[in-house]
Amino acid sequence: MLSNTGITLVILTTLLSALIIYKSFTELHIENNFINKKIFNLVTFQTTFSILSFFVLIAGFVISDFSLINVYENSHTKKPFFYKVSGAWGSHEGSLLLWINILVIFSFLFLVFTKHNNKSYLLYTLIFQNFLILGFLIFLLINSNPFSKIYPIPIEGLGLNPILQDPALAIHPPLLYIGFVGSSIYFSAGIASLISNCRDKFFAKSIKPWVLISWSFQTLGITAGSIWAYYELGWGGFWFWDPVENASLMPWFVITALMHSVIVLEKRNSIYSWVIILCLLTFTISVTGTFLVRSGILNSVHTFANDPSRGLYILIFLSLMIFLALAAFFRYSKKEEYNFLLKSKETLILANNWFMFFFLTSVMIGTLYPIILEVLNDTKISVGPPFYSAVIFPFVIPFLIFMAIGPKINWIKNKYSRILSNFYILIASIFLNLLVYFIFGKYSIISNLIIISSIFLIIHSIKDFFIFFKKKNESDISRIVSHLGFGMLILFIGISHNFTVENDFNLKVGEEKKFSGYQINFNSVRMENEKNYKKIIGEFKLVNLKSNLEEILYPEIRIYDQPETLTYEASIKTKLSADTYLTMSNISRSDYYNIKFQNKPFMIWIWISAILIASGGFIRLIKIKMQ
């Protein structure tokens, strides 16, 4: 029943997309200034059907309708309700339906909220957006249908991979998809802008909110993914420069560049072509990332979601998209005049783009090079964290300094006082860095420089914050919040990276271990039953020998039945000053357990900083809404 309803709704959505394209084309030839009500109605119906189809899928998961293959493969009656719902987008098929929903919803919202009287610009955007929708719907119907049936109907489902049963991961795909897929709307709008000749300021104004929404959500999505990795994967890290993580970071670099450039277009009517390139590139890179993840070309922790046959379709679709984008760009773009001064805001925003493209190229080459080399040369290499630290980290230093002084370059006219105040701030940063040095101990020169420059940015942002409260009109609070967040992010990553205390040893119940100013006692183990798993809980007493603080930690080993899997749950005690992180794992045929201990300074501040970065985007969005 659900299967038929779902498929019917998806087919209706598909037909409506085709109809919208047809109607919009005919509407283009009618010379008036308003869009036919019929088109609005069609888009409303399309959105309704699409959302309904997604609810049908969720309903299938909630009532555990195992006549749907997708539910059978990814759910189980004993699974908690929350993870039944999130199971709807936990699989490839379900997440594709989510992807399509976001395409459709953004198309609807763009049409409703863009107060713009350029009719052909709106219609062309709608047409290209619906081509994208159609493309993914066809992919869903012929290759990845979440409503496919299975017969005979199984009594019980196979269950969802236990490491995916986590709140941070459950919300991670929707957040990331709003970012990824949200960028589709300015892909379509970019092409529409070229064709309809609706350029410059108007174009910048119309895409700006969508850029902000997708950027903010993508920032949150990446953060949620990192938090999940930190809590769930049990190695205490949150970013491994894993190819799939890189696939989410690459579009972020481009959106960040776009978010800055769009300001130049809006304020100075310049670099239009560059903004268009960024618009087209963001969604292209998002789809490329999806292709890399879903095709299984990449070797990573995310391989639960891949299948080579899917890759081909995405690859063909991607090629078509790139071809369309390039064709439109070269056919319609015009030569531009540039009016840049060396010490202007525009130039500094270009500097931002320059760094973003350097980061993008580094991550891209690091991700793709091993694949290319293996094909060409049959040599397998690994490109991991040490590569990115070596290539990217040194350039974070000038980047942070640009971030600090860039935003003010126009406003402060008195050159001498500016240099002097920068000098004072630099001295203060070096002083604070020395403080870090004395509290935590020595670290490398490059880390010193990174910490100094991040403090430099933080002080600058705090200073701007005070200026903002004195004269509200002269600075931009959203920028200050995001830049402050970024400075803090780098500072706290730097500190936690350099001063994590970690150790790894084997213990039996009753034993104790002393190291680096800590003592760990293995008190006991016990077994407990939960709804859908059994767990072995260890009790450890941790004593900080310097401060004599005691903590009791309870790491777990979970044994899931459906599917049968072992997972290791870290026991994490979060404080504002540091996290203590303990995992235990059994050693086969032995009474010993392998214990991994980490003390990570300022971990929670890393998440706070990341959320601060994203909130800058939301603040600006609210400001645009209020104007």
Interface residue with other proteins among 82, 113, 423, 515 (CB under 8 A) is 515
**Least CB distance from residue 497 to other proteins, whole Å?**
11
Contact map string, positions 368 to 397, toward other proteins, x by CB under 8 A:
-x---x---x-xxxxxxxxx--xx---x--
Count how many Cα atoms sit within 13 Å of the Cα of residue 380 in the half-sphere of its side chain. 2
The piece of 68-76, 110-118, 166-174, 588-596 that touches other proteins (CB under 8 A) is 588-596
338 binds other proteins (CB under 8 A): yes
Q: Which residues in the 73-92 window bind other proteins by CB under 8 A?
A: none
**For residue 559, which phi and psi values (nearest 5 degrees)?**
-115, 105
Neighbouring C-beta atoms of residue 227, cutoff 10 Å: 19
Contact 255/311 with Cβ under 8 angstroms? Answer: no
**Least CB distance from residue 261 to other proteins, whole Å?**
13
Interface residue with other proteins among 235, 239, 393, 468 (CB under 8 A) is 235
299 binds other proteins (CB under 8 A): yes
- Closest to other proteins by CB, 252 vs 355, is 355
- Closest to other proteins by CB, 384 vs 510, is 384
Which pair of tokens denotes residue 99? 């992807």
Q: Residue 266: exposed, middle, or buried by beta-carbon count in 10 A (0-12, 13-18, 19+)?
A: middle
Interface residue with other proteins among 8, 36, 269, 347 (CB under 8 A) is 347
Helix (H) or strand (E) holding 92: helix 92-113
Binding-site size for other proteins (CB under 8 A) equals 61
Contact map string, positions 557 to 576, toward other proteins, x by CB under 8 A:
-----------x--------
Interface residue with other proteins among 11, 58, 318, 365 (CB under 8 A) is 365
**Least CB distance from residue 415 to other proteins, whole Å?**
19
- Closest to other proteins by CB, 576 vs 587, is 587
> Peptide bond preceding 308: is omega within 30 degrees of 0, i.e. cis?
no
Interface residue with other proteins among 120, 148, 269, 594 (CB under 8 A) is 594
Contact 351/416 with Cβ under 8 angstroms? Answer: no
Neighbouring C-beta atoms of residue 316, cutoff 10 Å: 12
**For residue 270, which phi and psi values (nearest 5 degrees)?**
-130, 170
Radius of gyration of the chain (CA): 26
CA distance 166 to 266: 42
Which pair of tokens denotes residue 271? 């670099």
589 binds other proteins (CB under 8 A): yes
Helix (H) or strand (E) holding 257: helix 243-268
Helix (H) or strand (E) holding 311: helix 308-332
Neighbouring C-beta atoms of residue 4, cutoff 10 Å: 11
513 binds other proteins (CB under 8 A): yes
- Closest to other proteins by CB, 421 vs 506, is 506
- Applying CB under 8 A, the residues found at the interface with other proteins are 233-237, 240, 242-243, 299-301, 303, 337-342, 347, 350-351, 353-354, 357-358, 361-362, 365-366, 369, 373, 377, 379-387, 390-391, 395, 501-506, 513, 515-516, 568, 585, 587-590, 592, 594
